[in-house]
Amino acid sequence: MAKKSMEPFLWTLFSAGGVLAALLIPIHLFLFGLALPLGWLPQPSYEHLFALLRHPVTQVYLFLLCTLALFHAAHRFRYTLYDGLQIKHLNEVINVLCYGGAIVGSVLTIYLLWQVP
């Protein structure tokens, strides 16, 4: 169980991630998930996208977007299980899985961005 004192911190991450997710994920998913694969828009070249990925501003942007979105999702999903399924006896397992997953995903994000040549 996350300590009571952790709750405001986790909520701040949830809230910050919620704002970024609302502002940015729809356009990302629309572009890379639908519009570009389906050819609704001209496909940007590999060189252009790779140059973007190497840019420090993009790296900070992707780091913040991915990690905060993960902590947002972890917090919200934790409460979905808590309210929706009423499995309070599994609280500790749920916390470990939700926030643990977010931590693993964040480490993976840092590693991937760090490894960009």
Partner 1 sequence: MVQVFPYAVGDAMSQTPIYTEYHPRWYRRRTSTYWWLRRPSYLVFILRELSSLFVAWFVVFTLLQIHALKEGPDGYQRFLDWSKSPLVLIGNSIALFFVVFHAFTWFQLAPQAMVVRLRGKRVGAAWIAGANYAAWALASVLVAWIVLRE
Binding mask 18-57 for partner 1 (x = CB under 8 A): xx-xxxxxxxxxxxxxx-xxx--xxxxxx-xxx-xx----
Q: What are phi and psi of 88, to 5 degrees?
A: -65, -30
DSSP annotation of 41 reads: S
Residues between 68 and 97 that touch partner 1 (CB under 8 A): 69-70, 72-77, 79-80, 83-86
Determine if 64 is a binding residue for partner 1 (CB under 8 A).
no
Residue 52 neighbours by CB under 8 Å, 6+ apart: 58
Residue 110 neighbours by CB under 8 Å, 6+ apart: 63
Report, in Å, the least distance between residue 116 CB and partner 1.
Answer: 6
Cα–Cα dist 95/82, whole Å = 10
Determine if 63 is a binding residue for partner 1 (CB under 8 A).
no
Segment near partner 1 (CB under 8 A); pick from 3-11, 65-73, 89-97: 65-73
